[in-house]
């Protein structure tokens, strides 16, 4: 919302914020999917998600897309809103298990974001795919995480909200998987558990 208001996108794109963000989120999801498959670059993802959203509303401003790409990475790590029940569930799990993160997120912001949200103490290892040369769902990132954790394959459980990167990646590595989603399209696959709220993890573990 901050960037939308600052650059008067309502006037330039003739759209309100909620309609703009809906289009942006679809484009952003598509580009992150391509990035996870190494079919686009980090730099392309950074600015194209904004430029394509602008173009959807017939506003062609590549310079502003680059500006947004830079400003977004400066601002977003300090946004501390967490999804419902995150803190409670993390504390519950931390008391019983060793927790680790595997993220395809950009290395410049991951540690800042985790510190700003006070999440880092919950996790033993923070594995940023960009630092290792392969993204989820590449099985190599799961193998690396398993090695760092010292866990056996049957002890590893991936909890994620991205079906292809998190869930299919984990299953291909021989792990168990729990899919956080309200989407019913994929839940016919019996190889993983699907939940619609984090609090349900307390019933599973």
Delineate the domains of the chain, giving CATH numbers in brackets. 2-78 (1.10.150.240), 86-204 (3.40.50.1000)
Residue 2 reports pLDDT greater than 90: no
Cα–Cα nearest to 163, from 135, 132, 194, 134: 194
Measured CA to CA, the distance from residue 54 to residue 15 in angstroms comes to 10
Integer Cα distance of 142 and 172 in angstroms: 9
Predicted local confidence at residue 185, as pLDDT? 60
pLDDT at 70 over 70: yes
| Dist. CA 169–CA 142, nearest whole Å | 8
Averaged pLDDT, 152-160: 97
CA dihedral 43→44→49→51, nearest 10 degrees, is 110
- Report the pLDDT averaged over residues 145-158: 97
- Of the given ranges (38-52, 67-81, 116-130), which has the lowest mean pLDDT? 67-81
Name which residue leads in pLDDT, 185 or 44: 44
- The pTM of the full predicted model, rounded to 2 decimals, is 0.85
Q: What is the pLDDT of residue 167?
A: 96
Say how far apart CA 68 and CA 186 lie, in whole Å: 34
CB 147 within 8 A of CB 168: no
Among residues 46, 160, 150, the alpha carbon closest in space to that of 102 is found at: 160
In the predicted structure, residue 190 carries a pLDDT above the cut 80: no
For position 189, what pLDDT does the model report? 63
**pLDDT for residue 188:** 56
Task: Estimate to the nearest angstrom the gap between the alpha carbon of 148 and the chain centroid.
Answer: 21
- Going along 32-131, which residue ranges are E strands? 100-103, 125-128
pLDDT band at residue 43 using 50, 70 and 90 as cut-offs: very high
The Cα 142–Cα 152 span in angstroms is 12
Q: How many helices (H) and strands (E) does the chain have?
A: 10, 5
Place 165 in a pLDDT band, splitting at 50, 70 and 90.
very high
CA–CA dist 114, 122 (Å, integer): 10
């Amino acid at each position: 919302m901050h960037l939308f208001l600052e650059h008067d996108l309502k006037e330039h794109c003739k759209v309100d914020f909620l309609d703009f963000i809906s289009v942006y989120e679809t484009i952003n999801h598509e580009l992150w999917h391509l990035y996870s498959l190494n079919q686009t670059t980090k730099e392309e993802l950074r600015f194209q998600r904004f430029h394509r959203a602008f173009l959807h509303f017939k506003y062609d401003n590549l310079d502003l897309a680059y500006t947004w790409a830079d400003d977004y990475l400066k601002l977003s790590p300090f946004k501390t809103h967490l999804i419902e029940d995150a803190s409670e569930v993390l504390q519950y799990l931390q008391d019983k298990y060793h927790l680790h993160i595997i993220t395809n997120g950009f290395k410049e912001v991951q540690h800042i974001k985790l510190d700003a949200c006070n999440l880092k103490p919950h996790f033993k290892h923070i594995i940023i795919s960009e630092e290792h040369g392969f993204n989820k769902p590449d099985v190599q990132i799961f193998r690396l995480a398993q090695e760092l954790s010292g866990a056996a394959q049957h002890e590893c459980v991936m909890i994620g909200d991205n079906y292809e990167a998190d869930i299919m990646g984990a299953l291909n590595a021989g792990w168990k998987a729990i899919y956080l989603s309200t989407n019913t399209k994929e839940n016919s696959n019996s190889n993983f558990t699907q939940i619609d709220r984090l609090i349900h993890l307390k019933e599973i573990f």
